[in-house]
Structure 1
Amino acid sequence: MSISAAFFAQAQDISIIRNSIDVYSNSPMVGSSKFNAMGGANGALGGDANSLLTNPAGLGVAISGGVSGTLSIMGNKNTSSLAGASSSYSNTKGDLGNVGGVMTFQLMTRSAWKFINVGVNFSNQSLDNYVESPGNSNIIYDFPNSTNSSSYDRHAYNRYGNLSKTSIGVGANYNHSLYIGAGLNFLNASLDQSDTASFRSLNSNSTELFSKNGTPYYERSNGFSASLGVIGKLGPNFRLGASVETPTFWNIDKSYNFYNDPKYGDDVGFESNKFTSPLKATVSAAFVATKNFSIDVDYTLGLTKPKYKVYTQTEVDINNFFKDNSKNLSELRVGAEYRVKQVRLRGGYSYASSPFDALTIGRFTNAGTQEEKSYDNLILNNRNALSFGIGYDFKSFYIDAAYQNITSKYSNPFMFGVLDNSTNSAYYSANRTITSDSFIVSDVKNIRNNFFLTFGWKF
């Protein structure tokens, strides 16, 4: 499919597409160190509050209460390459990653219902993401109403903030063979974002910094979803699980800067919107060989496409883009645990597929010419995560640690401008507007190194 210039002129900022998937369609999956070390795979095992991240029926598996808190140190490194040059940037952020607890209520009756348990879980993750792309002196921009031309010097995209999910749920145990559960999820997102570019004058060799029209901007959002799940034992060693999570219904409030508007000049605008993330289903299978070894496999699939409530033609264009070009979100997670007396050894792997089909755009070549090119990894791409961890059980108390490595490579389009001097997608400085109907595209490698430490108490 070809992305039209008109679409991006309406959408104002390609990051709207990125954030729709990367922020609003992906619930935070930062759990305890055990959960993270096992790649987030616990849909058929359950047993603690992190079940609310995958399958609330796992609450019913617990036979004793417990509470835990997890500290996270999340590192994010982006290396952006263009025309034979590279630019890298790393940032590290420490925070409270997860808090969870389960209260068990044993039913002292002759009924086959053994437990009804209540769980609460809070999950929090950083949205920080800074990408600085190097320059290319072969790419020349002309400015209307000026005899000056400038070469592209560099570009910086900066997003920072947090995404959190608070879940409450209930799980029931039927004869230690069937478990059912339900949960309510309350999400909050806070992100600040900027988009700037630097140009070098061909006349004076001086540089000038530009802000993209519509940036910097700020979003404060809240959302709600619900989940249902079931786990069944197929004998003493095998379990199957299934769960469904409704779309997250988001309310998004945004403020943004705009420049050189014919009526308002330079000012700040405000808008609100509603966004619906995809409906998701998860199927799980677990093998519990003994009390010392278990393995779990989860597969999550998005069943619908993301969608904005329509207020203007902008939302129509974005929704049509998702309808025509987005894939159903999918993720495979595998995790295992082995116990040696009081020591727990854990490992996991997860793979999330690319969210978009191949897309064709106009782009600048390294030589500065313009051409049409198809990308199968534009904006976002598939993601691989490898993790491992260790824990020690002091009977009532335990301490766990985990390491997680997440990698992704994608093509990063930016610097698209239009020919008018309005509030559409363009870059501004004073009263001059750069113009181009092509993108600059860099290659970005993203590496995230995350560390987690959990302290827990069982009662």
Structure 2
Amino acid sequence: MKKIVFFIGVLFVSITNAQDISDALRYADQNIQGTARFRAMGGAFGALGGDLSAIQINPAGSAVFLNSQLSVTLAGAGYGSDIYYGNGINTQTGSNLNFNQLGAVFVYGDASGSSPINKFTLTLAYDQTSDNEFQFTAFGNTSTSIDSYFLNQAQGVPLDLLERRSGESISDLYSFLGETEGYAVQQAYLGYESFILEADDPSDPDNTSYFSNIGSGSFYQEYAYQSTGLNGKFSVNGAAQINNDFYLGLNLNSHFINYDRVTDFFEANTNAGSNINEVLFTNRLSTRGAGFSAQVGAIAKVSDLIRLGFAVESPTWYTIEEETTQDLETFSEVDGVAVVAPDVINIFPEYQLRTPASYTASIAFLFGRQGLISLDYKYKDYTTTKFSSDFGNDYTDLNNSIVSTYKETSTIRLGGEWRNENWSFRGGYVYEESPFKNELLRSDRTGISFGLGYNWGKYKLDFAYDVMQQESFERFYPGSDFFNGAVVDTYRDNLTFTFGINF
């Protein structure tokens, strides 16, 4: 049974944060999965409305509905990745089934016709905002060892902290260090206990300098990454149609985060003078979070042909909790196997994350009942992402890193629909700028989509297929002095089905 480390009370202030800059982007980068019609048209619904996922772009869109409606959406998601690391190339694929969306809009009209408010709508909706299902394995030969991860965190740490007392177990010391010294010193202890690190003066308990038992040269390395879970958003929406040509709407959103990750890093060498020949480092992370945001939006009928839309989404204020476990194993041709398995769950103090606000401007051209073309432009400034804590944790360096690493972004969504009797034929295009100033860390993202739908009057069935491509540099241990990572070129595609009922 695992021992649990509770970081409580005044001990919070002494803990080195385990969060890193990749966490900020993972939870700030929302991508509404949506209904089949929404996906088929690239999500370009800011000036259109009339779709239960469109309210996530512009809350005024629910007032466009002519009658009450319910819809449910399922999607089969797949991905494929080409992974480049050192001199190695690997290709992987994966798939899963998602429950994308569920919602209902209730339309209340002005029967008297005397009020300037022609219609009022109330909407309850759930939308998945991120699919965390992903895995890849990178392998190849490099000239940089994992020893730098442990070595740089150990420098400056007194040897006396890293040596077990008589009768003290690995779990006891690992737990003690987490409670009193923090996560970074735990990492130093793992490296020391597994013999990756050696003290310059092992007889001096005040020694604070260390060297590596892994000799320089060439290293064969494998890194396996697997994540699961999803992020989602529950919305309560109210909107009104005013004087026939103007729509106003408001969303109150409750967000959740459900993210789990396991990584395994293996390294082997036959370098001269190397006392450690193999390393296996396993990390498990479990993240749970809840947040709140609000949206306001408006749509105006400029003419029978043109509609304009504008919407603002506030920052999302998250409260997040994380747990980690770690194991480290080394092999020496001289000394054999050393296993450091603390069997301890690190429970970190909850922290707050504020994600960026976003602004969406839209225009749509409607050609009677024959079809439409819609264009959305969204602006989002990722440098405004911010970590904070109620327990004294200092996130100054991490927040400064966000400002220096991220930038403002623009997203363009274009969609079209053509109708022929009860059939609808759709297509879309998406372009999203990279949030990184250095686009070698993550490229711009592009996607195309198409779909069709059939309307029986009371019932509707829609289908969509979309594919999106992006290249990124996946650093193995962000925030550490081990800078290795893999280039991952990924495409994701979705088959989405939505069933709708008018009532």
Give the TM-score range, shorter chain.
Answer: 0.7 to 0.9
2:295 aligned residue:
227
> Are 1:19 and 2:23 counterparts?
yes
CA distance in 2, matches of 1:325, 1:10: 21
For the residue of structure 2 that corresponds to 1:216, the secondary structure is strand
Q: Distance in 2 between matches of 1:11 and 1:111?
A: 57
**Secondary structure at 1:63 match in 2:** coil
Counterparts of residues 226-265 of structure 1 (less than 5 Å): 226-258=294-326
Q: Deviation digits for residues 294-334 of structure 1, max 9, x if unmatched?
A: 11111111256100114556521111111222112431111
Q: Secondary structure at the match of 1:250?
A: strand
> What corresponds to 1:316 in structure 2?
396
Of the three residues 345, 358, 366, the one matched with 2:425 is 345
Preserved contact between residue 17 and residue 393 of structure 2 (Cα < 8 Å):
no
| Match in the other structure for 1:108 | 111
> Residue in 2 aligned with 1:144?
197
Matches within 5 A, 1:174-189: 174-189=242-257
Verify the 8 A CA contact 2:46 2:58 in the aligned structure 1: yes
Identical aligned residues as a percent: 28
Distance 1:259 1:86, change over 3 A: closer
Q: Is the 8 A contact 1:218 1:256 kept in 2?
A: yes
| 1:330-376 deviation digits (Å, cap 9, x = unpaired) | 31111111001111000011111111112xxxxxxxxxxxxxxxxx3
Paired amino acid for 2:422: Q
Matched residue, 2:499:
455
Give the Cα separation in 1 of the matches to 2:45 and 2:470.
Answer: 24
Q: Partners in 2 of 1:50 and 1:186 — Cα distance?
A: 15
Distance 1:386 1:30 in 2: 14
- Specify every segment of 5 or more residues in structure 2 that has no aligned partner in the other structure, as ranges: 1-14, 148-195, 199-211, 329-340
Aligned to 1:172: 240
Q: State how many pairs are aligned.
A: 406
1:279 aligned partner: 357
The Cα offsets for residues 14-40 of structure 1, whole Å up to 9 and x where unpaired, read as xx3223213x21334111100010011
Residues 1:209 and 2:277 aligned together: no
User: What TM-score, normalized by structure 2, do the two folds share?
Assistant: 0.76
Which residue number in structure 2 is paired with residue 419 of structure 1?
none
What TM-score results when the alignment is normalised by the length of structure 1? 0.83
Contact residue 222 and residue 267 of structure 2 kept, 8 A? yes
Cα 1:84/1:208, change in 2 over 3 Å: closer
Output the amino acid matched with 1:98.
Answer: Q
Distance 2:487 2:117 in 1: 56
Aligned position for 2:447: 385
1:193 aligns with 2:193: no
After TM superposition, which residue ranges in structure 1, 4 or more long, deviate above 3 angstroms?
9-13, 137-143, 145-150, 203-208, 310-314
CA contact 1:48–1:102 (8 Å) conserved in 2 = no
Larger-Rg structure: 2
Query: Residue 137 of structure 2: which of 132, 139, 147 is its match?
Result: 132
Let me know the Cα RMSD of the aligned residues.
Answer: 2.4
Return the structure number with greater helix share: 2
CA 1:324/1:313 → structure 2, altered by over 3 Å: closer, same or farther? farther
Question: Structure 1 residues 139, 21: CA separation in 2 closer, same or farther (over 3 Å shift)?
Answer: closer
Provide the rounded CA distance (Å) in 1 between the counterparts of 2:317 and 2:21.
Answer: 17
